Amino acid sequence: MNKTLKWILIAAGGLVVIFIIVPLILGILTGVNLNKSIEMAKKQEVQTYFNPQKEIKFQYPGTWNVDKKIVDGSKPMIAKIDRSENTYLALLHELNNKNYDLEECGKGLMDGFEFAPGFSLVNAQNITINGIAAYEVIANFEGGVKARVICFVTPDGGARLFTIGYYSTQDEFDKYLIEFDGILQTVETK
């Protein structure tokens, strides 16, 4: 093979590397980064749930999806927002003829859970969510379900009672718990 042909083949090989292989590798890397960027943007995207009739509002990450089958729903559930197939948030509302206090709210939660199949109490305590006094129960249930359920009464003398619950399989519970905590910090009622 003569020197000229050898240099042409080397140059052609270089062009293949520069114009085909390098862009291909960059495209793959960029695609990976683009997918990561989309996932990160979705996590940072914030949606707002607002129910003007019930006077409650909170924000949740774009990675959670409102269940369209429950539209300010059948009493008492007014919203269900899914994080994954096994993880969701449920918002319940009860308009009472009497004023509830936080102690009754917590007692109602405990009374309801004690009869649930496989109920095992992990923790129960008074907490504050976004400046609202609340009562929290964390429990395990039959079928590998774990829940963190919080009830609170409205500042208008407790005429309205809300329960916001985070339900998941035990293996996913900790994975999305920080997102649920973030949602709690945005809850507003009148």
Together in a domain, 66 and 21: no
Neighbours of 111 (CB within 10 A): 9
Is the separation of the CB atoms in 136 and 149 below 8 Å? yes
Together in a domain, 84 and 39: no
Give the chain's largest Cα–Cα span.
Answer: 100
Q: 88-95 and 77-82 as β-strands: parallel, antiparallel, unpaired?
A: antiparallel
Residue 8 class from Cβ within 10 Å (0-12 exposed, 13-18 middle, 19+ buried)? exposed
CATH, residue 69: 3.40.1000.10
Rg (CA), the chain: 26
Q: What is the pLDDT of residue 160?
A: 75
Together in a domain, 24 and 81: no
The per-residue pLDDT for range 114-153, each reduced to its tens digit, is 888 999 999 999 999 888 888 999 999 999 999 999 988 8
Together in a domain, 92 and 140: yes
For the chain, what percent of residues have pLDDT higher than 70?
69
Give this prediction's pTM: 0.71
Query: Which residue in the block uniquely carries the two structure tokens 């520069």?
Result: 18
Structurally, the chain folds into a number of domains equal to 2
User: What SS3 state is found at 77?
Assistant: strand
Together in a domain, 140 and 165: yes
Together in a domain, 39 and 50: no
Together in a domain, 35 and 59: no
The per-residue pLDDT for range 5-38, each reduced to its tens digit, is 444 444 444 433 344 444 444 455 555 555 554 4
Domain that holds residue 65: 46-189
**Count of H-run helices and E-run strands, the chain:** 4, 10
Strands (E), 16-159: 46-51, 56-61, 65-66, 77-82, 88-95, 120-129, 132-141, 145-153
Together in a domain, 74 and 128: yes
